[in-house]
């Protein structure tokens, strides 16, 4: 089910997938370390399908019982090869992982949403290997970045079933001792160039890096660089003084949701005599995102963002998509409904999703799970996790915004508390220090500090019959001044001491119309009875959005139902509640916005 190469921007031809059936056991008494389960001699009493957490159906276990410590075990065959190193990769493990091979600890990792690796070569036997993983996931710890996972016994409202353990792919690859360890892509759009930064491991200074870039199968540029150090940094000339490669008259060779152009690249590391040491396949999209005149620009043209909130949960897999193709289908459904992107909410998504967003043309606001409360440990954990997020996902052209904080989660007193304000400012500047190519939102929703986009949440539209309430809603959205000065909640749009500074304004949460509510715990912001009522209510809300002279985009809540939260445009199992074409017709209506009298590049 999960068989795609897990790292789509740096692909090698030979790898070994370790997904599948593993031994599995609960360790409620925390005896595993004392009894040395890590040695691999103990057989656990259950089996689990990796990479699905034990709480979901596809794991084969499917229990809502809370078990904070779990153990995994798998035997596999792999052998050492002279001059080769074997790297073990984990896509994501929630929350703390200790990894052992043949009784030896090979790595530890804290953080439930990011990837990590270990060189296991020195711990391998001649053929059969025993891999053991211990996972600790404290249910009630409110200082870990848990996102939408409930920290109580059962889900309710907007909080979902917790996830424990391995939830993204596990895999092996053999590499030469001298190999390419990382590739980063950065568009120098105004110069017509693309920067490639290759990190190398084990090199001696005698090697060469050879690259070839192709666009739609045709060669664009190629070259060779001498490897004098552990990093090579090159600017590749793409435009080469050809006007139709630019987006001066049309989209040219640039990447956008309308024209998701991608360049394919082969990168080869060679010894001085031409012997191939390593070869990887990669890709990039040539694009630019910047802020100007209260608007967001894509490739130097104003771009109206029609986003949908995407929680990234599935009924049978929770945070893990049952099949790699499910990511593609989610994006296709969203685009069918007239959305050009998503805000991936409180979850750092699998790289396979980002691959499909790159390939299909779909904007992504990258987000991270938040903690619930504030404390020094929470600050440290979030900064560490964001370092790993940016490192892993930096090169995806689909990611156009970073959202490190949401609705004051993890900093409940930010309005007047200087420490929590400094935390928000730190995250804003920290992400800009790691990445100078994307806007950053300091606290999506309200109580913002420094921010590149003023991101506002407003669910005050009420039920259809509440005409007076809806009139107030239209007034709140009507202009930039009202959007900033008339918040819909008791929280101000900006924290004390901060103010609006003519940044773009986007309505990043609204709607949440509950439709086809089922079950005693079903929940939505508002409710309708049938498709006709839904389309009418959706239309009136979107009319208010499009009538606003202050907005330059929106993010509707939400793409799918999730457990008891039933305000999705799709059911939890991805069936449209309404004809997607009818929703698309509403989403593609003319909008006033700060752009004025035309759509400006956002049509497809």
Measure the CA–CA gap between 364 and 356, rounded to whole angstroms. 11
pLDDT at 1 over 70: no
Q: Work out the mean pLDDT of the chain and round it to a whole number.
A: 94
What pLDDT score was predicted for residue 250?
79
Tokens 């290759």, located at residue: 198
Give yes or no for residue 138 having a pLDDT over 60.
yes
pLDDT at 142: 93
Domains of the chain, start order: 16-176 (2.60.120.260), 179-284 (2.60.40.10), 303-587 (3.20.20.80)
Is residue 598 predicted with pLDDT exceeding 60?
Answer: no
Give residue 603's pLDDT.
47
Q: Is the dihedral angle over the CA atoms 461, 439, 393, 167 positive or is it negative?
A: negative
Task: State the pLDDT at residue 525.
Answer: 85
User: Is the per-residue pLDDT at 597 higher than 90?
Assistant: no
Instruction: Please give the pLDDT value at position 518.
Output: 59
DSSP string, 437-481: SS-B-SSBBSSB-S-SSEEEE--TT--TT-HHHHHHHHHHHSSHH
DSSP class of residue 572?
A: T
For position 601, what pLDDT does the model report? 41
Judged by DSSP in three states, 143 sits in: coil
In this predicted structure, what is the pLDDT of residue 248?
Answer: 85
Looking at the predicted structure, is the pLDDT value of residue 510 above 90? yes
| pLDDT for the residue numbered 517 | 64
Computed on alpha carbons and rounded to an integer, the radius of gyration of the chain in Å comes to: 25
Contact 488, 460 (CB under 8 A): yes
Find the farthest-apart pair of alpha carbons in the chain and give their distance in angstroms, rounded: 78
Instruction: Average the pLDDT over 580-596 and give the result.
Output: 82
In sequence order, which residues have a C-beta less than 8 Å from that of residue 259 and are 6 or more positions away?
A: 251, 361
Residue 152, pLDDT score:
85
What is the pLDDT, as a whole number, of residue 294? 95
Those residues whose C-beta lies under 8 Å from the C-beta of residue 239, and which sit 6 or more positions away, are 192, 193, 245, 246, 253
Residue-level pLDDT at 515: 79
The count of other CB atoms within 10 Å of the CB of residue 422 is 14
pLDDT, mean of residues 335-351: 97
pLDDT at 446 over 50: yes
Binned at pLDDT 50, 70 and 90, residue 595 comes out as low
> Does residue 604 have a pLDDT over 60?
no
The whole-number pLDDT of residue 483 equals 97
- pLDDT tens digits for 519-574? 556 777 888 888 999 999 999 999 999 999 999 999 999 999 999 999 999 999 99
Q: For residues 372-392, give the mean pLDDT.
A: 97
Residue 251: pLDDT band by 50, 70, 90 thresholds?
A: confident
């Amino acid at each position: 089910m999960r068989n795609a190469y897990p790292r789509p921007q740096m692909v090698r031809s030979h790898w070994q997938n370790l997904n599948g059936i593993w031994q599995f056991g609960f360790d409620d008494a925390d005896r595993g370390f004392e009894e040395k389960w890590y040695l691999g001699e103990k057989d656990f009493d259950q089996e689990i399908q990796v990479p699905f957490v034990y709480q979901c159906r596809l794991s084969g276990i499917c229990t809502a019982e809370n078990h904070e410590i779990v153990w995994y075990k798998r035997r596999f065959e792999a052998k050492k090869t002279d001059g080769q190193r074997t790297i073990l990769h984990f896509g994501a493990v929630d929350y703390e992982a200790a990894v052992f091979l043949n009784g030896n600890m090979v790595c530890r990792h804290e953080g439930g949403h990011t990837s990590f690796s270990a060189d296991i070569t020195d711990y391998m036997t001649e053929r059969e290997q025993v891999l053991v993983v211990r996972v600790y996931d404290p249910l009630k710890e409110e200082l870990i970045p848990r996102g939408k996972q409930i920290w109580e016994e059962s889900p309710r409202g907007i909080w979902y079933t917790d996830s424990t353990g391995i939830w993204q792919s596990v895999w092996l690859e053999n590499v030469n001792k001298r190999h390419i360890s990382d590739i980063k892509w950065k568009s120098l759009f105004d110069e017509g160039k693309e920067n490639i930064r290759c990190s190398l491991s084990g090199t001696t200074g005698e090697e060469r890096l050879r690259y070839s870039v192709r666009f739609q199968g045709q060669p664009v540029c190629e070259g060779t660089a001498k490897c004098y150090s552990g990093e090579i940094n090159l600017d590749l000339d793409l435009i080469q003084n050809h006007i139709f490669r630019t987006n001066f008259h049309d989209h040219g060779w640039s990447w956008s949701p309308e024209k998701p152009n991608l360049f394919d690249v082969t990168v080869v590391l060679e010894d001085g005599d031409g012997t191939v040491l390593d070869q990887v396949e990669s890709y990039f999209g040539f694009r630019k995102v910047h802020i100007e005149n209260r608007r967001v620009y894509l490739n130097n043209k104003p771009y109206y963002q029609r986003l949908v909130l995407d929680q990234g949960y599935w009924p049978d897999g929770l945070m893990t998509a049952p099949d790699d193709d499910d990511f593609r289908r989610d994006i296709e459904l969203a685009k069918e409904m007239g959305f050009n992107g998503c805000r991936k909410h409180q979850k750092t998504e699998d790289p396979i999703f980002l691959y499909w967003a790159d390939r299909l043309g779909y904007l992504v606001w990258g987000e991270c799970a938040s903690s619930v409360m504030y404390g020094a440990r929470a600050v440290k954990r979030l900064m560490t996790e964001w370092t790993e997020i940016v490192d892993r996902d930096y090169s995806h052209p689909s990611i156009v915004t970073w959202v490190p904080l949401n609705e004051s989660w993890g900093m409940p007193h930010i309005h007047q508390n200087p420490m929590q304000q400094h935390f928000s400012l730190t995250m804003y500047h920290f992400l800009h220090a790691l990445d100078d190519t994307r806007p950053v939102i300091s606290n999506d929703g309200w109580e913002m500090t420094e921010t590149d986009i003023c991101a506002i949440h407003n669910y005050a539209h009420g039920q259809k019959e509440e005409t007076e309430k809806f009139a107030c809603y239209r007034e709140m959205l009507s202009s930039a001044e009202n959007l900033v000065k008339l918040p819909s909640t008791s929280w101000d749009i900006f924290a004390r001491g901060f103010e609006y500074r003519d940044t773009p304004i986007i309505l990043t949460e609204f709607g949440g119309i509950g439709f086809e509510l089922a079950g005693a715990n079903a929940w939505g912001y508002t409710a309708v009875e049938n498709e006709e009522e839904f389309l009418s209510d959706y239309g009136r809300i979107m009319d208010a959005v499009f009538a606003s002279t202050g907005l330059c985009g929106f993010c509707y809540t939400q793409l799918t139902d999730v457990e008891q939260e039933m305000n999705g445009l799709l059911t939890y199992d991805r069936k449209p509640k309404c004809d997607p074409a009818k929703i698309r017709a509403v989403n593609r209506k003319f909008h006033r916005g700060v752009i004025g009298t035309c759509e400006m590049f956002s049509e497809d």
